[in-house]
Amino acid sequence: MASKEPLIITGKEEMRRWSRAARAEGKSIALVPTMGYLHQGHLTLIRESLRYAEAIVVSIYVNPGQFSPTEDLSTYPSDFVGDIRKLRSISGAGVDVVFHPKDLYGYGRSNSSKIDENRSEGEVVSCVEKSGNGHETWVRVERLEKGLCGKSRPVFFRGVATIVAKLFNIVEPDVAVFGKKDYQQWRIIQRMVRDLDFGIKVVGTEIVRDDDGLAKSSRNVRLSPEERAKALSISKSLFSAKLAAEKGQVNCQELINSVAQSITKAGGKVDYAEIVDQENLDLVKEIKSPAVFCVAAWFGNVRLIDNMEINI
């Protein structure tokens, strides 16, 4: 079957009109939010979305609201032409629309979305213009955003929740598909949808890995061959911890120490290694119910995240 040529939409109102027209035809809509530089993990999300809806929208938008003062938005990898080529490769029904807005924080004024560069370390990003007419409304999932990645990236999840809420309001999907590699993000979006009564089903898909076990990520391209080889210590140690837990080792600190030591020995710098409840992300001392082992570690200047669900 010939691949589909997706329609590229850049405007909010045009996107909203398309969705409402599709729904008027009786079609359900699935949204797969991305920041572009698509890889096999993203394509897996899109193929999964085909199970839930007749019309598929993929958003490509690098969200400035989730970058902290120490993170350079300009270095985030981008290849829009390559992304479209990959989307065309999806056989069958394929992708109907690529929503590719230039700016989701601007409201018709030339400088309305300018990010405030005069801010201190850890200060929340500001998308409010000096005249006071810019963006100043944010969505926070207060408890779930505090742990794990939220400790070292205090801006990140309010930026994620806000932009996803905006995408939901613009695209108006029935289903949204996220990858479980960003486990905390997936749970935060689920909670936001529940708490704010969005009529949207949030689906989480399993982590897609390379043949050697490394979790697929847009950041992997920034690893040197040596760093990439060392980064395999993350997935290898997580698989070992899962196996140990299934064999009866349920003391979390011992499992954490083992994983952290393996990553450090390989040359990585552990940001965090924690075992938490799968639903509420509370820290777990002993595995007695479904838990997830979450890790973030640096190899060179690249921060990688991974996790392993433990169901015993």
Instruction: Name, in order, each residue with C-beta under 8 angstroms of 99's C-beta and a sequence gap of 6 or more.
Output: 9, 10, 15, 57, 58, 59, 60, 61, 167, 170, 171
What's domain 218-306's architecture?
2-Layer Sandwich (3.30)
Strands 291-299 and 269-277: antiparallel
CA distances in angstroms from 205 to 42, 127, 173, 183, listed in the order given: 10, 32, 17, 10
* pLDDT higher than threshold 80 for residue 299: yes
Mean pLDDT of the chain: 91
Alpha carbons 170 and 80: distance in angstroms, whole number: 21
Catalytic residue among 39, 42, 100, 135: 42
| DSSP for residue 162 | H
SS3 34: strand
**Given pLDDT bands bounded at 50, 70 and 90, which one contains residue 282?**
very high
Burial-class residue 14 by CB neighbours within 10 Å (0-12, 13-18, 19+).
middle
Alpha carbons 93 and 111: distance in angstroms, whole number: 39
Between 96-110, 150-164, 207-221, 269-283, the lowest mean confidence (pLDDT) is in 96-110
Q: Of residues 149 and 126, which shows the higher confidence score?
A: 149
* pLDDT higher than threshold 70 for residue 31: yes
Identify residue 21 by its one-letter amino acid code: A
**Given pLDDT bands bounded at 50, 70 and 90, which one contains residue 131?**
low
Alpha carbons 245 and 241: distance in angstroms, whole number: 6
CATH 3.40.50.620 fits 7-205, yes or no: yes
**Given pLDDT bands bounded at 50, 70 and 90, which one contains residue 113?**
very low
Tens digits of residue pLDDT in 192-239 = 999 999 999 999 999 999 999 999 999 999 999 999 999 999 999 999
Alpha carbons 45 and 47: distance in angstroms, whole number: 6
Nearest Cα to Cα of residue 53 among 85, 13, 33, 26:
26
CA distances in angstroms from 59 to 38, 78, 122, 312, listed in the order given: 11, 14, 28, 36
Domain boundaries, the chain: 7-205, 218-306
Radius of gyration of the chain from its Cα atoms, rounded to whole angstroms:
20
Query: pTM, whole model, 2 decimals?
Result: 0.91
Specify whether 135 is catalytic. Answer: no
Alpha carbons 84 and 102: distance in angstroms, whole number: 16
Write down the pLDDT at residue 192: 98
